[in-house]
Amino acid sequence: MNFDPTSLMVYLVVGSQNVNDDPNEVIRVVQAACDAGVTSVQYREKDHSKLNQAEKVALGQKIRSITKAANVPLYVDDDLPLALAIQADGLHVGQGDTPVQEIHQVAPGLLLGLSVHDLKELAASEADLAVVDYLGVGPAFATTSKEEVKEAIGPKGVFSVASKSSLPVVAIGGIQEDNCQELAELPIAGVAVISAITASDDIQRSVQKLRGVTK
């Protein structure tokens, strides 16, 4: 799959740890989100996920079938063997995760996303950017959906990185229906969310509000 920056408009990040360790709920959320118009999905099993590798592959294959039917790119968070096993479209890594150059050498066909917190990390990542398709920048706001999260950088912090990057940027971290419009004027391609969709009482409504950030 070729990378399309518009695929970052509403980017769902989800794993079993985000839905009370219930793989069936992951499937429900991904299906509902794709039906509602999310434009990318990242399968992320971290933060004390209780699934073993075989269970991750089985769940990932079900997610893959949903995203493929919806023509939505599927990324895996920092697990190259899992990404290859489920034939994901791409991989997303953070600072300190598997080096992007190493991933590109092993699987040059995978789309690649890289997390960047600030201008210092952007500068430190300079050598990797040639093989990266997009940057995930944040956390935009305080978040409890991930463990070991860095300090929120706010819309100004997201702007500072996005305005200096030649790559498309998706803002991530603490983004909800009630604060997403604070990002509407920034030079970003979209927003990435976890609980704004996984904990939503109306996924259709939530996705449409999030889509409004970059319309």
168-190: per-residue pLDDT in tens? 999 999 999 999 999 999 999 99
Asked whether residue 1 carries a pLDDT value surpassing 90, the answer given is: no
Asked whether residue 114 carries a pLDDT value surpassing 80, the answer given is: yes
How confident is the model at residue 183, as a pLDDT?
Answer: 98
Name the pTM for this structure: 0.96
How confident is the model at residue 47, as a pLDDT?
Answer: 84
* Binding positions: 42-46, 77-78, 97, 115, 143-146, 174, 194-195
Lowest mean pLDDT segment, chosen from 39-43, 82-86, 139-143, 199-203: 139-143
Q: Which helix (H) or strand (E) holds 155?
A: helix 154-162
Asked whether residue 159 carries a pLDDT value surpassing 80, the answer given is: yes
Higher-confidence residue of 105 and 145: namely 105
Q: In the structure, what pLDDT confidence band is assigned to residue 144 with cuts at 50, 70 and 90? A: confident
Q: In the structure, what pLDDT confidence band is assigned to residue 148 with cuts at 50, 70 and 90? A: low
How confident is the model at residue 116, as a pLDDT?
Answer: 97
Share of the chain above pLDDT 70, in %: 98
- Distance (Å, whole) CA 115 – CA 173: 11
Span 15-74, pLDDT tens digits:
999 999 999 999 999 999 999 999 999 999 998 899 999 999 999 999 999 999 999 999
Measuring CA to CA, how many Å separate 57 from each of 73, 92, 166? Answer: 17, 17, 34
> How many other β-carbons are positioned within 10 Å of the β-carbon of residue 116?
24
DSSP per-residue codes, 110-150: SEEEEEE-SHHHHHHTGGGGGG--EEEE--SS--SSSSSPP
Enumerate the active-site residues. Answer: 44, 115, 146
Ordered by where they begin, the domains of the chain are 5-211 (3.20.20.70)
Q: 42 forms bridges with which residues in the sheet? A: 13, 75
Mean pLDDT of the chain: 96
Q: In the structure, what pLDDT confidence band is assigned to residue 150 with cuts at 50, 70 and 90? A: confident
How confident is the model at residue 164, as a pLDDT?
Answer: 97
